[in-house]
Structure formats: structure tokens, C-alpha cells
Amino acid sequence: MGIVRNLSDRISALRESPTRRIDAIRERLRRENRDIIVLSAGQPSIPPPPEIRAIMAEELAKESMDLYAYTPSQGIVELREAVSEDLKRLGSLDVKPDDIVIVAGGQEAMFATLMTILNPGDEVILMDPTYFGYKPLIEYFGARIKRLRLSMDDGFRINVEALKELISSRTKAIILVSPDNPTGSIISEDVAKALVDLARDKDFWIISDEAYRTLIYEGSHVYLYKYAPEYVISLNTFSKDPGIPGWRLGFVYGPREITSRIKLAAEEMTYCPPSFAQRFVATYLRSEVRLKHIKYVVEQYRAKRDTAVEAIRRNLPEARFVVPKGSMFIFVDLSKYIDDSDKFAEFAMEKYSVALVPGSYFSEQYKAAVRVSFVWERTDRLVEGIRRLAEAAKAYKAS
Amino acid sequence: MGIVRNLSDRISALRESPTRRIDAIRERLRRENRDIIVLSAGQPSIPPPPEIRAIMAEELAKESMDLYAYTPSQGIVELREAVSEDLKRLGSLDVKPDDIVIVAGGQEAMFATLMTILNPGDEVILMDPTYFGYKPLIEYFGARIKRLRLSMDDGFRINVEALKELISSRTKAIILVSPDNPTGSIISEDVAKALVDLARDKDFWIISDEAYRTLIYEGSHVYLYKYAPEYVISLNTFSKDPGIPGWRLGFVYGPREITSRIKLAAEEMTYCPPSFAQRFVATYLRSEVRLKHIKYVVEQYRAKRDTAVEAIRRNLPEARFVVPKGSMFIFVDLSKYIDDSDKFAEFAMEKYSVALVPGSYFSEQYKAAVRVSFVWERTDRLVEGIRRLAEAAKAYKAS
């Protein structure tokens, strides 16, 4: 049988996630007992609060199906209520529990949302740089990507006039990641207002990716939903806070006409979100540990960010970057040292045992940049990793 | 903005899962403090083994990200190895860990598999009756359903000659659920062999849904993969065994050309399967508790099945059914009592406080049948539920 012939045409467009490629090389070197310093990870290094883990350990002792049974596809009421209260407390938002859909992580939030709104031929506007996870999904659903180039020179600020140029009658959505992955920049209130005015005027969705919403070191998160609840679909994850990336839990909030359909899409994809994680996060969000934990995590990560910034300045004087206000990353332009970030990332891993994500995954313009995660490794290893990165960049330049 | 206009055309075809409708009525009655006997649930009543839960409770105390971090999208090696060993032990199968993809439950197995193989215009053959979860997915991916009618009179045996009549050059796959939901019938070895011969001859996929593989009360599971590993994609879940439906974990095995692509599809859908559940099941499958637990569960459920069979015979002498060899269900033809199973299921719930799934969800021919789950309720309540069902059927007939 011609097995490949017997596949979906659309699936053939899917490729392995670029970070998975990096992971695979890392895995091979690990088996060779190489000690790789991981500056490529997009996940936290601080496990969720021990108090909540202790509560869940007790729950596991009970002889009942409560913890194991299917949940409503939209998520358990207790968690949707806890999320609603948390959005009020942190963002002064008024989002009803019925307008919140719990999903199996940020990836399912992305897939189910794009599955819900996109038709072939639609156009979606992405920032450049931006998180690489959206591109394959938009292409899978047959839509076309237009990119708005942001510049490091003005802190990756969105130029609304330039954005207007990209909008057409086929524009279905614009995707904003704030705090951003990979740049750590945060959208400002005035830009947010101009964007929602444009969405209203031109009739498109704003997909607001808020994965790093609670990881902010300067300033505060701008909730786009506040300005135009009828145009904004907000995607969230519990992977970064409280730090359960592998457990796959997130949520979407937005107008009920759309969230009710995202719920149906997620139901077809995974039937319901993981129940153990739902109970865990409902307990976390409602405990007094919740605000203390964010504060602790932000303090830890801010100190690491400052260490990383200082180390990059010291070791790579010709590197260019904007000090990130949020997220886990510094997006470092190495164009004074390297030309091709894909080749360089492999070189740095193979020869200098430091893992980085190439800028080309996020950008069509910053192809000589790398994304440096400052949260995953211990501080001493973070500094050593940046030293290795600098050595690699200089060696690459000389080669 | 015309919000509905701004949606995917394909998503508009998605409807709420029929059991979710039943759940919603049940939830309303529960809020009215009605005690509903639930014979509609497709999930186990026995939680996973306490020994494994105790191990995981200890793991939760550790200060490490090991339990919380992302895993490879294909699933952790330990779990894929454990599944490989388990398939060898239970089915004498030789499936390499690399040919196994761990997914976020049986629903993701179904979605990712159909996403991988279907193109618009393809044809898929479903049994009638069969599990209702496949229809909306096949339609979502733009393929056409053909149904092979099975008859209660010969124990829902597949007539291979009749099946041949349905096969065309557009036939992409046939979907077999064995042990079956809703009938509890098991495919026989001779039918299995005839089917794989046909798949080879006519060049189509056999999707083998093995969700109830370990819940067998008479006979044993036939692993279709054994007869034609290059044509069979096997879908599995850990929802029924070890009993973690809400945790969302399952697996797919099959030829690597296809599982490697199912892995990519699942990666786009949910990035990785839930890590806590992966650790849990890897520990379970490799523990000595594993075989004891299946034995215990099968004994408990067999006794309940026998109780249910006896209660149906006593209370509903004109009901017709085949004693299920596996699964959690008895598919009861009530055509001597009722005409419309949808209306009847609502009537039975509203007036007699017993929840059932209408036969119409599974079948275009058995529209006066109901699916009775015999595992979820305690034995005394199971008997009382069937008494209520009989009362409802007689009252419906008289009305």
C-alpha cells in the first residue's frame, strides 16, 4: 500500500515543532553524557507551591472516583469560578464563569480557537518576531499569514499605521502575544486602545495570548478584553503560573458566542480538560498561597533576568537586545557575530554545550538572533551558559 | 459585528456530544435535589489501585520539576516501554516503543488519527450500531459515512460479504470497536482475518478501537494488529483501565509511517500528553498490582453484568438484548415498549429519575433501544435503576 498516499493532504504540511528539533539534539548529547546548559526551555524552574501539592497528595488517598471521573467539557464550575475571581482580582475584569472555557493547555487553546474562526483563504496578522506556534496552525487551517515587522530600535512597539496597511477585507484576526515570547515586551495602553478601535472599525478578532500575564518585572499586564470584550479572545495557560506545563491546562475567555464553540471544538479534540490538574489549580487560585507564590516567582525570575542581562552585556558587548519587561526570555540580536541562527544554534549546542532557540523560528528579519531563557537553569549555570554562548558566537564569527 | 459569520464553516457542523445533553438534564435535576440513578455513564466506578496512588502522592512531595515539566510529544520513554511490554504480555504483540504514540485520551487518539488520514470526499465505514463519537469527527474532516448494519439476531456479527458491498475506491477506512460500545460484542478471529484480507486487497485502513480491551467477561480480545500490522491503527485509552477517564491519557500504535504523523497532529493539538498521568500509568503498568487490578475489576463488573442481565429479564420480559461479552454496557432493544429512544430517555429521566443513553445515538436501525451501563452504580442502585427503567417503559407504552 502506498501509505503516504493514504494520508490527509493538510496533515502533510505539518512539521515537527522547531523546539522539538532542538530537544532531539539535546537528548542525543545527553545520552553521550554531555552536560548541556539549557537556555532554550520555555517552562518554569519553580514547581507549584508545596502547600497545594500536599492537599492533592491527600486527595489521592480517598476511595472515590471524584478525582478521576470525566468533567464537564467546559471545565469544572469551581475552577471557572476561581478563574473569574482571579481575573477580577488581578485585572479588574468582569468575566462570568460561563464565558470561560478550560482547555488542555495553551496549545489546545490556540488550536481550538483557530479551528473555530478560520476558513481557507482568511488572513491572519502575526507580529514579527512572535511565538512560532501559530504559523503551522494558521497554515493547517488554510489561512494566509501577513507579518507586521516590529523593530528592536523602538522596543518592538506596534506601529498602528503600519498595521492598517496590512488589513484587508479578508483579515480574520490579529494575534498578539503580551508579554511577548520571544521579546518580553508588553503592549502599552495606548497601542491597545488603538488596536481595539481598529478591530471594531475593520471587523476582525484580536487573539490575545496572555501566557506570561503574571510574569511581569516592570509595568503591568494590559488586558485587551477590557477595551472591547466583544472582539477579544484571550488565550491563557497554567503552564507558567502555577508551573505545571506538563499537566496541560489553560483557559480561554471571550464573547460567549465564540467560547461556546471553542468548547465544542475542544470537546471533539480531548473530550474534557485533565481533571486532576483542574482540581489542583482551583485549589491554588483560591488559596492564600496564590498571590505569595506569584510574588516569589517574579522576584526569583527578575533577579535571574538582571543577572542574564548583565552577563550578556559583559560577554557580548556587540549584542543588541531590549531588556524584557515580562516573560522568560531575552531576544538577543547577534548580527555582529553570526549570520544564520539555525546553524549557530546547532554549532553552540554541539561545540559549546549550550542550548538556545534560533531567532529564525520567531522572525523573518531577526535571523541572526537567539532566544535566551533566563528562568530554567540555576543562576550559576545561567551565567556559565551565557559565557558559553559568547564563546560560541566569537568562535563562529572567527570561523 | 456578525460574530457567527466570522466563524469557520466547518466548525458550524459541530454539535454538543449527545451524552453531554443527557448530562445537562441530569445536572438540572440534581440541582433540584433529585436522586438520579445513572445508567448512562461510560466510565468505571473503581478508582485506580491505591498502591499506585500512594506512590504518586509521595512524588508530589519532591522539590523538582520532574513531575511538572513538558514531556516529549510522543510520550515519555518509560511509558512507551511499559505499554510495549504490556501489549506483549496481554496480547503476545510485538510493538516497538517507537511505534507507540501516547496521547491525551481516546478522544485525541480518534481526532488525531482521522486528522492524519482523511481528505474531503473520502469514505469511512462504520458499524451500526457503534460508538457515536466517530460520526461528528468524520463529518468535520469532510468525509462521508457508510454504515454496515449489524443484527442483534446473530450477536452483531460482521457479515464480510455485506461489508464488501460497501467498499468503493474512495473507502479510506473502516472503524471497528471491539469490545463494542454499545453492544459489548467482540469480534471473532475468523471475521478479523477476513477483514484484514479485505483491507489488504482493497487498500484501506482498519481503525481498531480497543478502549474496552481489558474489560472482557467471556472470551478474549482479538488484536487485529497481529494479522496485518501495516494496515491496522489501534486506538487505546487508560480511561477504562486503570480508571482515570478525567486524566486524559491513551495511546495509538500502528505502522510508524502513520504513528509518526499522528504524533505531529497531537503535538499541534495539545503539545504533549499530560505528564502526571503518564508517570502514574507507567508506574501502574510495571507494578505487580497491574494484573491483579484487571482481575479484580473484571470480577466486579462481571457480577454486575450478571445482576443487570437478570434484572432486565425479570423486569422487562419483552426486551431483547445480547449478553455482552465485554465493555460496560448492555444494548437493550425496547421496541415492544417504546418507539423513540430520545423521547423515552428524557421521559425516563424526568419522570423516573433514571439516566440512559438513547439507542438512536449509536444506530439508525435500533431507534427504540437504550444503552444501559452496568458498572457505574452500586449493585443495589443498579437493580433499582433497571426497575425504574422497566416502570418507565411500561408507562411510556401505556401513554
B119, closest residue in chain A (CA to CA)? A8
Is A296 an interface residue toward B (CB < 8 Å)? no
Answer whether A198's CB lies under 8 Å from A191's CB: no
Facing A107 at nearest CB: one of B172, B269, B275:
B269
pLDDT tens for each residue of B45-68? 999 999 999 999 999 999 999 999
Q: Which residues of chain B neighbour A26 with C-beta distances below 8 Å?
A: none
Bond before B255 cis per omega within 30 degrees: no
A140, closest residue in chain B (CA to CA)? B268
Q: Which residues of chain B neighbour A52 with C-beta distances below 8 Å?
A: none
Contact B119 A255 (CB under 8 A): no
The radius of gyration of chain B's CA atoms, rounded to the nearest angstrom, is 21
Q: Which residues of chain B neighbour A246 with C-beta distances below 8 Å?
A: 67-71, 272, 274-276
pLDDT tens for each residue of A227-247? 999 999 999 999 999 999 999
Is A117 an interface residue toward B (CB < 8 Å)? yes
B46, closest residue in chain A (CA to CA)? A65
Position B26 pLDDT exceeds 90: no
Q: Which residues of chain B neighbour A205 with C-beta distances below 8 Å?
A: 6
Element (H, E) at A205: strand A205-209
CA distance A23 to chain B (A): 9
Q: What is the mean pLDDT of chain A?
A: 95
| pLDDT value, residue B4 | 44
Q: Which residues of chain A neighbour B267 with C-beta distances below 8 Å?
A: 16-17, 20, 107
Residue/partner pairs of A112-116 with CB below 8 Å, 24 or more apart: A112/A252, A112/A262, A112/A265, A112/A266, A112/A269, A113/A207, A113/A233, A113/A235, A113/A252, A113/A262, A114/A138, A114/A141, A114/A143, A115/A141, A115/A265, A115/B8, A115/B11, A116/A258, A116/A261, A116/A262, A116/A265, A116/B7, A116/B8, A116/B11
What's the rounded mean pLDDT across residues B287-311?
A: 98
What ipTM describes this predicted complex? 0.96
Contact B63 A56 (CB under 8 A): no
- What residue ranges define each of the domains in chain A, with the CATH number in brackets? 11-48+291-398 (3.90.1150.10), 50-288 (3.40.640.10)
| pLDDT value, residue A4 | 44
A241, closest residue in chain B (CA to CA)? B68
Return residues 135-164 of A near B (CB < 8 Å): 136-137, 140-141
CA distance A8 to chain B (A): 5
Is B43 an interface residue toward A (CB < 8 Å)? yes
What's the rounded mean pLDDT across residues B180-202?
A: 97
Contact B14 A268 (CB under 8 A): yes
Give the Cα separation of A176 and A156 in Å (integer).
12
Confidence label for A206 from pLDDT (cuts 50, 70 and 90): very high
Q: What is the mean pLDDT of chain B?
A: 95
Is B268 an interface residue toward A (CB < 8 Å)? yes
What's the rounded mean pLDDT across residues A332-348?
A: 96
What's the rounded mean pLDDT across residues A207-211?
A: 98
Facing B6 at nearest CB: one of A46, A67, A117:
A117
Give the Cα separation of A80 and A98 in Å (integer).
8
B9, closest residue in chain A (CA to CA)? A119
| pLDDT value, residue A14 | 79
Contact B247 A50 (CB under 8 A): no
Is B71 an interface residue toward A (CB < 8 Å)? yes
pLDDT tens for each residue of A139-173? 999 999 999 999 999 999 999 999 999 999 999 99
Contact B68 A247 (CB under 8 A): yes
| pLDDT value, residue B1 | 45
| pLDDT value, residue A91 | 97
Position A2 pLDDT exceeds 50: no
Answer whether A180's CB lies under 8 Å from A130's CB: yes
CA distance A338 to chain B (A): 30
Q: Which residues of chain B neighbour A54 with C-beta distances below 8 Å?
A: 60-61
CA distance A258 to chain B (A): 8
Is B14 an interface residue toward A (CB < 8 Å)? yes
Instruction: Report the relative pairing of strands A100-103 and B232-237 from DSSP bridges.
Output: unpaired
Contact B246 A277 (CB under 8 A): no
CA distance B46 to chain A (A): 7
- The dihedrals phi and psi of B288, each to the nearest 5 degrees, come to -75, -10
Is B203 an interface residue toward A (CB < 8 Å)? yes
Contact B117 A69 (CB under 8 A): no
Contact A268 B140 (CB under 8 A): yes
Give the Cα separation of B136 and A263 in Å (integer).
15
Give the Cα separation of A132 and A48 in Å (integer).
26
Give the Cα separation of A241 and A223 in Å (integer).
17
Is A169 an interface residue toward B (CB < 8 Å)? no
- The dihedrals phi and psi of B117, each to the nearest 5 degrees, come to -105, -25
B73, closest residue in chain A (CA to CA)? A20
| pLDDT value, residue A47 | 97
Is A272 an interface residue toward B (CB < 8 Å)? yes
CA distance A347 to chain B (A): 23
pLDDT tens for each residue of B103-138? 999 999 999 999 999 999 999 999 999 999 999 999
Question: Which alpha helices (H) appear in chain A, and where do they start and end?
Answer: 18-31, 50-59, 77-91, 105-117, 134-140, 160-166, 189-202, 256-270, 275-285, 289-315, 341-352, 379-398
- The dihedrals phi and psi of B285, each to the nearest 5 degrees, come to -60, -30
B132, closest residue in chain A (CA to CA)? A268
Q: Which residues pair with A101 in a beta bridge?
A: A252
Facing A47 at nearest CB: one of B68, B141, B172:
B68
Give the Cα separation of B343 and B331 in Å (integer).
17
What's the rounded mean pLDDT across residues A374-398?
A: 97
B68: alpha, beta or left? (left if phi > 0; alpha if psi -120 to 50): alpha
Contact B270 A108 (CB under 8 A): yes
| pLDDT value, residue A332 | 98
Q: Which residues of chain A neighbour B16 with C-beta distances below 8 Å?
A: 264, 267
Answer whether B392's CB lies under 8 Å from B344's CB: yes
DSSP secondary structure code for residue A35 in this structure: -
Is A116 an interface residue toward B (CB < 8 Å)? yes
Is B398 an interface residue toward A (CB < 8 Å)? no
Contact B68 A45 (CB under 8 A): no
Cell of A109: 487553546
Contact B248 A248 (CB under 8 A): yes
Is A17 an interface residue toward B (CB < 8 Å)? yes
Confidence label for B320 from pLDDT (cuts 50, 70 and 90): very high
Answer whether B362's CB lies under 8 Å from B129's CB: yes
Instruction: Report the relative pairing of strands A357-358 and A369-373 from DSSP bridges.
Output: antiparallel
| pLDDT value, residue A166 | 98
Q: What does each C-alpha distance from A342 to A338, A390, B170, B374 come to in angstroms? A: 10, 16, 42, 57
Please list, in sequence order, all residues whose beta carbon lies within 8 angstroms of the beta carbon of residue B253, skipping any fewer than 6 positions away.
B83, B87, B95, B99, B100, B101, B225, B233, B234, B236, B259
Give the Cα separation of A194 and A167 in Å (integer).
14
Is A360 an interface residue toward B (CB < 8 Å)? no
Give the Cα separation of B97 and B78 in Å (integer).
9
Give the Cα separation of B32 and B27 in Å (integer).
9
Facing B11 at nearest CB: one of A115, A272, A276:
A115
What's the rounded mean pLDDT across residues A66-76?
A: 95
Half-sphere exposure of B237 (CA within 13 A, CB side): 27
Confidence label for A1 from pLDDT (cuts 50, 70 and 90): very low
CA distance A209 to chain B (A): 16
Contact B61 A54 (CB under 8 A): yes
pLDDT tens for each residue of A272-313? 999 999 999 999 999 999 999 999 999 999 999 999 999 999
Give the A:B interface size as CB pairs under 8 Å.
Answer: 238
Question: Percent of chain B beyond pLDDT 90?
Answer: 90
Other CB atoms within 10 A of residue A204 CB: 25
Cell of B326: 465485554
| pLDDT value, residue A10 | 83
* Count of all residues that appear for chain A in the document: 399
Give the Cα separation of B383 and B374 in Å (integer).
9
pLDDT tens for each residue of B347-380? 999 999 999 999 999 999 999 999 999 999 999 9
The radius of gyration of chain A's CA atoms, rounded to the nearest angstrom, is 21
Return residues 85-114 of A near B (CB < 8 Å): 104-108, 111
Bond before B179 cis per omega within 30 degrees: yes
| pLDDT value, residue A119 | 94
Answer whether B339's CB lies under 8 Å from B104's CB: no
Task: Name the burial class of residue B357, with classes exposed (0-12), middle (13-18) and buried (19+) by CB atoms within 10 angstroms of its CB.
Answer: buried
Is B335 an interface residue toward A (CB < 8 Å)? no
A51, closest residue in chain B (CA to CA)? B61
